[in-house]
Amino acid sequence: MAKEIGTIRNIATAGHGGSGKTTLVEAMLHKAGATKRLGRVDDGSTVADFDVEEKERKFTIDSALVHCGWKGKEIQLIDSPGYPDFISGMISSFTAVEAAVICVSALKGVELNTRKAWDYANRCGIARAFVITKMDVENASYSKTLEQLVEVFGQTVIPYVVPIGEAGGYKGVINAFSLPEAIPAGVADAAKAAHDVLVEKVIEADEEVMMRYLDGEEVKQDELAKTLATAFRKGVVVPVFCAAGAADNGAEELLDAMASFFPSPLDVERKAMLITKGGEQEIAVKAADPEFSAFVFKSMTDPFVGKMNFFRVFSGTVTTDVPVYNSRTGKKERLANLYRMQGKEQEAVTSAGPGDLVCVAKVEDVTIADTLCADSRHVKFPTIVFPKPMVSLAVEPKSRGDEQKIGGSLSKLADEDPTFSIFRDTATKEMIILGMSTLHLDVMINRLKRRFDVEVTTKEPDIAYKETVTSKAEAMYRHKKQTGGRGQFGEVYLRIEPRERGAGFEFLDEVVGGSVPNQFIPAVEKGAREQLDAGVLAGYPVVDIAVALYDGSFHPVDSSEQAFKTATRNAFQKAFLDARPVLLEPIANIEITVPSKFMGDITSDLNGRRGRVSDVETIGGLQIIKAQVPLAEIAKYSTELRSMTAGEGSYTIEFSHYDVVPSRIQEQVVAKAKARHEAEKAEKR
């Protein structure tokens, strides 16, 4: 893949779902001659959306790599997902590029993922541009959309092109940076005004050029073009383009800009940690460095090829015959199967150099966020911080024959998507899958069936309640059984008392005078621990109590470990019920981000969920509400928040602590648990 580094342009498309990203990518590929026909999302014929789920649902789920040549430049695009449910694809894509093109619908304006794309691109330190899409659709409004972009993202947002008409009258665009000699009368004033604003902003990026400009010296167009590239890279200018993908209007001007002033790999340095025997130190990795280094930004499992890892080469060259070092595992890997991707199409290559986006197949011990490097220089790029999955489902295989397959199959899906995870809840004995939303989990369950032929049944996970006591109580129990021959005998006196939250279980041996022989003391403790797991109130684990054995009696022939265990469990239950038992429920920290207009609705809803708001922050037009709320009250919050905010709200949760369940709710939980246990007993009869 011998390409001049300076001719490469790595760019990710982003924006909210339905804003026209994939249609724009398709238009650019067609305009550049990389495809023979213009694909459409509606009929599933686009290059980027090739997965079965994407074709059926008609939106992007996974990021996809495509490329085209334009005016001597090699433009490599990553088309990323638009819905927040699949945001991991967008976040990881930004780590592999120098610029992001954020699409905004001329119908809907700035949406939730518009803001998220801006924020994540800013965190990654990459250049940003906007494209106002769907300019030819009825009710499209360029002026309203531009006004909103400036209001939300600031005065650096400046038109690079000006549209000729909109909606049914949209005919294309005028380049406001290098104005053509002939400008249609209806847009001449707008084009010239945009030109003046853009030039002044560009000049601000270079102090020397600005001083000459202020002194009245003419700044030539070629010098302005170089300064524009600097201004764009630094974020001094965020250019705004227009496009109507279906009509192919606007794609050419965007391609021209990408070729002209979008940054190349030579323009950007990447921070990394140099790993030596003496420790780690931060360095700047440059495209011109001779030592190989690369970052894995995407993984997927192909039914025919196996595991495929996509990586961006930041420096040096990798070949199929020389092993590379994985900084996470400390192992060497041979990348024997290298491919360049055009959607789902694979082109085998033997090497990859700085700026290349390639894929390696059949290397199992490599995953997202791994750094691959030369063995002569061990480096590690910063890992990717993904949002935590918020929505959970309990799953079990429909067929008993799939019990062995389900864990491994789900793990492979989790390897592809850092916002999807699985775990076995030890408290409820359920297998839990976690994702960003119900839609996200639905897609993963469908993939489980399609790829691995595993079908599952789902339900809401049981809440992992716990039981404890709030006062001290004592009880005794004598277990005596005679059935002929050797009998069973064990008598214990127990005291149960509460401990501090999180202190766990403590067993105290307070027996004096040998009323319970030493050889039976461990059996008493074991019986108590068994009852901890079984629970008393509703079958949930018992926590944070102390159990003291202070007296008892034995029989020299009939006493045994089993007899003392049985006596202990019964005495435990009696004392526990007398010690004012309570249920404990998990409390979550929740952080909700919504537009300001929804603030009142959200706080009122949280109060109804027994939530306690602890803090509210304002960032631009957004409110960030921090609260604590019982986990049982937000089991379906993803769907409910989407409904309350018309899809504009998002949230994250994490476990905080356990707290006492209110008595009226405790009664309901205990009643349901008892009914469930009775039903289970009936099934076994």
pLDDT digits (tens, 9 = 90+) for 122-151: 999 999 999 999 999 999 999 999 999 999
pLDDT band at 238 (very low <50, low <70, confident <90, very high): very high
For the chain, domains (ranges, CATH) are 7-267 (3.40.50.300), 277-380 (2.40.30.10), 391-462 (3.30.70.870), 467-579 (3.30.230.10), 584-664 (3.30.70.240)
Return the pLDDT at 677. 78
Return the pLDDT at 638. 82
Return the pLDDT at 620. 64
pLDDT at 8 over 80: yes
Listing DSSP states for 19-73 in one string gives SSHHHHHHHHHHHTTSSSS---TTTT--SS--SHHHHHHTS--S-EEEEEEETTE
pLDDT band at 246 (very low <50, low <70, confident <90, very high): low
**Residue entry with tokens 């090829």:** 305
Return the pLDDT at 671. 92
Of 46-55, 287-296, 353-362, the range with the lowest mean pLDDT is 46-55
Return the pLDDT at 572. 98
Contact 13, 25 (CB under 8 A): yes
Convert the pLDDT of each residue in 555-578 to its tens digit.
998 999 999 999 999 999 999 999
How many percent of the chain have pLDDT more than 70? Answer: 98
Mean pLDDT taken over the chain:
91
Return the pLDDT at 682. 76
pLDDT at 264 over 90: yes
SS3 273: strand
pLDDT band at 2 (very low <50, low <70, confident <90, very high): low
Which of 215-229, 364-378, 380-394 is the most confident on average? 364-378
Contact 250, 259 (CB under 8 A): no
Return the pLDDT at 62. 94
Mean of the pLDDT values across residues 475-493?
88
Convert the pLDDT of each residue in 623-654 to its tens digit.
889 999 998 998 888 889 989 998 788 887 87
Return the pLDDT at 675. 87
Return the pLDDT at 560. 93
pLDDT band at 345 (very low <50, low <70, confident <90, very high): very high
Return the pLDDT at 76. 98
Convert the pLDDT of each residue in 316-341 to its tens digit.
999 998 999 999 999 999 999 999 99
Return the pLDDT at 685. 64
Convert the pLDDT of each residue in 174-210 to its tens digit.
999 988 888 888 888 889 999 999 998 999 888 888 8
H-state helical runs in 244-384: 251-261
Mean of the pLDDT values across residues 258-270?
96
Select from 555, 566, 551 the least CA-distant residue to 494: 551
Select from 50, 58, 48 the least CA-distant residue to 17: 58
pLDDT at 1 over 60: no
Contact 126, 98 (CB under 8 A): yes
Convert the pLDDT of each residue in 395-413 to its tens digit.
999 988 888 889 989 999 9
pLDDT at 301 over 90: no
Q: How far apart are CA 685 and CA 680, in angstroms?
A: 9
pLDDT band at 113 (very low <50, low <70, confident <90, very high): confident
Q: Return the higher-pLDDT residue of 6 and 673.
A: 6
Residues in the chain: 685
Neighbours of 404 (CB within 10 A): 10
Convert the pLDDT of each residue in 594-624 to its tens digit.
889 999 999 999 999 999 999 998 876 778 8
